[in-house]
Structure 1
Amino acid sequence: MKRLFMLLLVSVFTISLAGCITIDDEEIDCELYPTHVDCLEDIDPTTSEAPGIVNVLDALPTDEIIITFWHVYGQEKAALLNDYIVEFEALYPNVTINAESQGGYDELRNKTILAITSNNTPTMLVGYPDHVAGYLNGNAVIPLDDFILDDTFGVDITDFIDSYIEENRQYQGGYMYSLPYSKSTEMVVINKDIFDANETALTAAGVALRTDAPYTWAELDILAGILVGNGANQCEYLINFDSAANFFINSVRQWDGGYTNSAGDILVDNANTLAMLEYVQDRFEDKTFAIPLAWDADYGSANFQEGDSCMTVGSTAGIKYNVPTGVDAFEIAVAPVPQYDLDNMSAVQQGPNVAIMEDTTDAERLAAWLFITYITNAENTAKWSMLTGYLPVRYSGYDSTIYQAFLTSPDADYKYESMTANAAFLQIGYNDYDPAFAGRVTSSGARLQAEISMKALFAGNATAQQAIDSILSQLGVN
Structure 2
Amino acid sequence: MLVISLILLSGCHGRLESREATGAGNAKIPEPFDDSKPIELVFWAKNDTNKVQTAVYTNAIKEFEEMYPNVKINLRLYADYGRIFADVITNIATKTTPNVCITYPDHIATYMTGQDVVLQMDDWMKDSRYGLGGSEVRFDSPKQEEIVPEFLAECVLEDHYYAMPYMRSTEALYVNEDMVKKLGYELPEVVTWDFVWEVSEKAMEKNEDGTFKINGQKVMIPFIYKSTDNMMITMLKQLDAPYSTAEGEVLLFNDTTKGLLEEIYKHAKSRAFSTFAISSYPGNFLNAGQCIFAIDSTAGATWMGSEAPMLDIHEEQVVPFNIRVMPIPQFKPEEPKMISQGPSICIFNKDDPQEVLASWLFTQYLISNKVQLGYAETEGYLPVTLKAQQSAEYRDYLSRKGEDDDHYSVKIEASELLQKYTSDTFVTPVFNGSNSLRSAAGQLIESTAKSARRKEKMSDAYIEKLYADVTSLFQLDQIEVKAGKKVSFGELPSESKTLLIVIPCIWILIGLYAFLTKRKNRKKT
Tell me the TM-score normalized by structure 2.
0.74
Superposition deviation, residue 294 in structure 1? 4.2
Q: Contact between 2:215 and 2:289, CA under 8 Å: does it hold in 1?
A: no
User: What is the CA–CA distance in structure 2 between the aligned matches of 1:286 and 1:422, rounded to whole Å?
Assistant: 35
1:396 aligned partner, one-letter code = K
Q: Note if 1:149 corresponds to 2:122.
A: no
User: What is the CA–CA distance in structure 2 between the aligned matches of 1:387 and 1:243, rounded to whole Å?
Assistant: 21
Report 1:132-147 matches (<5 A).
132-139=108-115, 140-147=117-124
Partner in structure 1 of residue 32 of structure 2: 59
Superposition deviation, residue 233 in structure 1? 4.1
Q: Contact between 1:246 and 1:348, CA under 8 Å: does it hold in 2?
A: yes
Report SS of the residue matched to 1:96.
strand
Task: Mark the CA change 1:267 to 1:401 in structure 2 (over 3 Å): closer, same or farther.
Answer: same
Report SS of the residue matched to 1:237.
coil
2:297 aligned partner, one-letter code = S
Q: Contact between 1:257 and 1:271, CA under 8 Å: does it hold in 2?
A: no
Q: Which of 284, 300, 317 is the aligned partner of 1:302?
A: 284
Partner in structure 2 of residue 260 of structure 1: 244
Q: Note if 1:318 corresponds to 2:291.
A: no
Q: Contact between 2:119 and 2:347, CA under 8 Å: does it hold in 1?
A: yes
Q: Which of 360, 364, 374 is the aligned partner of 1:369?
A: 360
Partner in structure 2 of residue 176 of structure 1: 161
1:276 aligned partner, one-letter code = L
User: What is the CA–CA distance in structure 2 between the aligned matches of 1:90 and 1:344, rounded to whole Å?
Assistant: 48
Q: Contact between 1:255 and 1:344, CA under 8 Å: does it hold in 2?
A: no
Q: Which of 40, 43, 58 is the aligned partner of 1:82?
A: 58
Task: Mark the CA change 1:135 to 1:34 in structure 2 (over 3 Å): closer, same or farther.
Answer: farther
Task: Mark the CA change 1:240 to 1:477 in structure 2 (over 3 Å): closer, same or farther.
Answer: same
1:78-106 superposed Cα distances (whole Å, 9 cap, x missing partner): 22111111121222222211111133212
Superposition deviation, residue 315 in structure 1? 1.3
User: What is the CA–CA distance in structure 2 between the aligned matches of 1:360 and 1:351, rounded to whole Å?
Assistant: 30
Partner in structure 1 of residue 444 of structure 2: 453
Unaligned runs of 5+ in 2: 1-11, 133-142, 206-211, 479-525
Partner in structure 1 of residue 258 of structure 2: 274
Partner in structure 2 of residue 418 of structure 1: 412
Partner in structure 2 of residue 431 of structure 1: 425
Task: Mark the CA change 1:261 to 1:233 in structure 2 (over 3 Å): closer, same or farther.
Answer: same
User: What is the CA–CA distance in structure 1 between the aligned matches of 2:201 and 2:274, rounded to whole Å?
Assistant: 15
Q: Say which is worse superposed, 305-314 or 344-353, in terms of deviation.
A: 344-353
Superposition deviation, residue 263 in structure 1? 1.2
Partner in structure 1 of residue 481 of structure 2: none
User: What is the CA–CA distance in structure 2 between the aligned matches of 1:151 and 1:258, rounded to whole Å?
Assistant: 42
User: What is the CA–CA distance in structure 2 between the aligned matches of 1:116 and 1:293, rounded to whole Å?
Assistant: 31
Superposition deviation, residue 393 in structure 1? 0.5
Q: Percent identity?
A: 22
Task: Mark the CA change 1:291 to 1:145 in structure 2 (over 3 Å): closer, same or farther.
Answer: same
User: What is the CA–CA distance in structure 2 between the aligned matches of 1:90 and 1:265, rounded to whole Å?
Assistant: 48
Superposition deviation, residue 228 in structure 1? 4.0
Partner in structure 2 of residue 103 of structure 1: 79
Partner in structure 2 of residue 330 of structure 1: 320
Superposition deviation, residue 458 in structure 1? 0.7
Task: Mark the CA change 1:250 to 1:175 in structure 2 (over 3 Å): closer, same or farther.
Answer: same
User: What is the CA–CA distance in structure 2 between the aligned matches of 1:338 and 1:408, rounded to whole Å?
Assistant: 27
Report 1:8-407 matches (<5 A).
39=19, 54-62=27-35, 63-73=37-47, 74-76=49-51, 77-139=53-115, 140-155=117-132, 156-169=143-156, 171-172=157-158, 174-195=159-180, 197-198=182-183, 201-202=184-185, 208-209=186-187, 213-224=189-200, 226-229=202-205, 230-233=212-215, 236-295=220-279, 297=280, 299-324=281-306, 326-327=315-316, 328-331=318-321, 332-342=323-333, 345-407=336-398
Superposition deviation, residue 472 in structure 1? 4.0
Task: Mark the CA change 1:347 to 1:376 in structure 2 (over 3 Å): closer, same or farther.
Answer: same
1:330 aligned partner, one-letter code = P
Q: Say which is worse superposed, 116-125 or 343-352, in terms of deviation.
A: 343-352
1:150 aligned partner, one-letter code = D
Task: Mark the CA change 1:33 to 1:175 in structure 2 (over 3 Å): closer, same or farther.
Answer: farther
Superposition deviation, residue 236 in structure 1? 2.7
Superposition deviation, residue 405 in structure 1? 2.4
Superposition deviation, residue 389 in structure 1? 2.7
User: What is the CA–CA distance in structure 2 between the aligned matches of 1:149 and 1:69, rounded to whole Å?
Assistant: 24
Task: Mark the CA change 1:188 to 1:67 in structure 2 (over 3 Å): closer, same or farther.
Answer: same
User: What is the CA–CA distance in structure 1 between the aligned matches of 2:370 and 2:332, rounded to whole Å?
Assistant: 36
Q: Say which is worse superposed, 228-237 or 106-115, in terms of deviation.
A: 228-237
Partner in structure 2 of residue 11 of structure 1: none
2:220 aligned partner, one-letter code = E
1:398-429 superposed Cα distances (whole Å, 9 cap, x missing partner): 21222222223333212221121122223211
User: What is the CA–CA distance in structure 2 between the aligned matches of 1:95 and 1:132, rounded to whole Å?
Assistant: 25
Q: Say which is worse superposed, 323-332 or 372-381, in terms of deviation.
A: 323-332
Task: Mark the CA change 1:34 to 1:128 in structure 2 (over 3 Å): closer, same or farther.
Answer: farther
Partner in structure 1 of residue 502 of structure 2: none
Tell me the TM-score normalized by structure 1.
0.81
Superposition deviation, residue 196 in structure 1? 5.2
User: What is the CA–CA distance in structure 2 between the aligned matches of 1:425 and 1:379, rounded to whole Å?
Assistant: 19
Give the structure with higher Rg (CA): 2
1:405 aligned partner, one-letter code = D
Q: Contact between 1:123 and 1:360, CA under 8 Å: does it hold in 2?
A: no
Task: Mark the CA change 1:60 to 1:128 in structure 2 (over 3 Å): closer, same or farther.
Answer: same
User: What is the CA–CA distance in structure 2 between the aligned matches of 1:266 and 1:83, rounded to whole Å?
Assistant: 43
Report SS of the residue matched to 2:349.
coil
Partner in structure 2 of residue 3 of structure 1: none
Superposition deviation, residue 464 in structure 1? 4.6
